[in-house]
Amino acid sequence: MKRLILVLVLLAGILGFASAGFCDDEALVVDENGNVGIGVTDPQAKLHVNGDTEINGSIGTKNGTLVVRKNIFSDIITGNSNLIYVHIRTPETQGCSEMFRYDLEGYGIYSGLHSYTWAGYMTNGGLNYSTANDKVGSRPLSQYIGSDGHLYLKFGPLNMYYSSFFLDYQSGAYGEKVEHKREGYSVIIREDSGNQ
């Protein structure tokens, strides 16, 4: 009986400590439904994390969907009400050998929702395969190797007045696996349809 009481006291102390959090911003929370929050005060799932997460190992699902967003690059374009073409310079260069996929999501006051995907395969000879898809409309999209040897993602013409977007990246199954660290990206705005 003493052991049972000791276990209950320890368990209550651990749960009380976890639900009380480690500091004022609630580092760890366990709610009444068993949802665990790290960096959030009101977890909305069995595990709800607000912040960067590092995992050494694999993640799997059973009868579910796993969505990973890296948000490797984001930008806000302001004060331009002309029709423009947006060129996103990526770190991929003509000399690499890699399959890739980029997803862009965003919104503009006049241009509305942006939801684009570019996929392709880079080899030492350049861009061997490429495809692009506008998931919400029929805006022209393309990808090309610029004069500096970098891969560019292009969309337009459209009115990008006060627009924002984020870009996700996924390395393909073949070729080298490139881990982008949010470096080497830039946005170039042009009012003509030419390439960089």
Is the domain of 78 the same as that of 163?
A: yes
At residue 11, the pLDDT reads 45
Is the domain of 40 the same as that of 92?
A: no
Is the domain of 101 the same as that of 182?
A: yes
Is residue 140 included in any domain, yes or no?
yes
What CA–CA distance (Å, rounded) separates 44 from 31?
A: 10
pLDDT band of residue 60 (cuts 50, 70, 90) is low
At residue 134, the pLDDT reads 92
Among 81-95, 131-145, 178-192, the range scoring the smallest mean pLDDT is 178-192
Is the domain of 115 the same as that of 153?
A: yes
The residue length of the chain stands at 196
Is residue 68 included in any domain, yes or no?
no
Is residue 131 included in any domain, yes or no?
yes
At residue 7, the pLDDT reads 41
Domain that holds residue 146: 73-190
More confident residue, 135 or 82: 135
Parallel, antiparallel or unpaired: strands 36-38 and 47-49: parallel
Query: Which tokens is 106 given?
Result: 């965003």
What CA–CA distance (Å, rounded) separates 153 from 88?
A: 5
Number of independent structural domains in the chain:
2
Q: How far is CA 161 from CA 28, 51, 113, 131, 158, in A?
A: 40, 30, 13, 27, 9
The closest alpha carbon to 69, from 99, 38, 102, 42, belongs to 102
Is the domain of 184 the same as that of 114?
A: yes
Is the domain of 79 the same as that of 168?
A: yes
At residue 9, the pLDDT reads 39
Among 6-20, 62-76, 156-170, the range scoring the smallest mean pLDDT is 6-20
Is the domain of 33 the same as that of 101?
A: no
What is the average pLDDT value for the chain, to the nearest integer?
75
Among 35-49, 56-70, 123-137, the range scoring the smallest mean pLDDT is 56-70
When pLDDT is averaged across residues 54-70 and rounded to a whole number, the result is 60
Is the domain of 31 the same as that of 110?
A: no
At residue 173, the pLDDT reads 52
